Amino acid sequence: MLRNVLFCAVLVIAVVVTAAQTPIKKNCRTSVPGYDCGQTCIAFFVGCYHSNGPTQILPKNSLVNLRHTIDWQKWMQDGSAGDLIKKCAQLAVQKNMKYFGIEYYGECYFGNTLNQSQPKVTTEDDCTKYCGFDVGGASAMVVYEVFTPPSK
């Protein structure tokens, strides 16, 4: 009996130690759940996706490049690219698009559907490297869904 109890205790300890050593892949998150786009919309975080390869989560031909408008000093101070996210969200509303994504720190892409074949960036991949400032880096795209208030 004592032998069985000891065996069970060792087994439980082994399972706990193994579980503690196994990294849990969590999807990357933004610093806030959504961004206010003024009176026109709210942009809610959908995910951060890998975008290296011939396809990406939003169509490549929808590109609007806003890299020239980036205030890098403000981003470092604020810890996010809220000003750029707001600009892309407002463009999405103007284009009547449901989603927008930001890749390479200032390239905005738009669409009404997402290519779900693209894998999400996980904590194991290093979220800061791929999704820092709440926008995608060189090979990732942070995607937002745009919600607009109903018209009166």
The count of C-alpha atoms lying within 13 angstroms of the C-alpha of 61, restricted to the half-sphere facing its C-beta, is 0
Asked if residue 22 has pLDDT above 70, the reply is no
The count of C-alpha atoms lying within 13 angstroms of the C-alpha of 74, restricted to the half-sphere facing its C-beta, is 7
Q: Is residue 75 part of a domain?
A: yes
Domains identified in the chain, total number: 1
Q: How confident is the model at residue 25 (pLDDT cuts 50, 70, 90)?
A: low
pLDDT of 101 reads 96
Residue 23 carries which DSSP code? P
Bridge-partner residues for 49, per DSSP? 120, 141
Contact status, residue 134 vs residue 41, Cβ threshold 8 Å: no
Q: Is residue 26 part of a domain?
A: no
pTM of the predicted protein model: 0.79
Q: Is residue 132 part of a domain?
A: yes
Residue 139 carries which DSSP code? T
In degrees and rounded to multiples of 5, residue 19 shows phi and psi of: -65, -40
Q: How far apart (Å, rounded) are the C-alpha atoms in residues 60 and 57?
A: 9
Least confident of 50-59, 60-69, 90-99, 132-141: 50-59
Contact status, residue 114 vs residue 57, Cβ threshold 8 Å: yes
Least confident of 8-17, 25-34, 53-62, 65-74: 8-17
pLDDT of 152 reads 65
Q: For the sheet with 107-111, list strands across it.
A: 34-36, 42-50, 140-147, 99-103, 107-111, 64-65
Q: Is residue 112 part of a domain?
A: yes
32 or 63, which is more confident?
63
Domain that includes residue 114, residue range: 34-147
Q: In a 3-state reduction of DSSP, which class is residue 113?
A: coil
Q: Is residue 5 part of a domain?
A: no
pLDDT of 54 reads 73
pLDDT, tens digit (0-9, with 9 covering 90-100), for 120-151: 888 888 888 888 888 998 889 999 999 988 77
pLDDT, tens digit (0-9, with 9 covering 90-100), for 103-124: 999 999 999 999 988 888 888 8
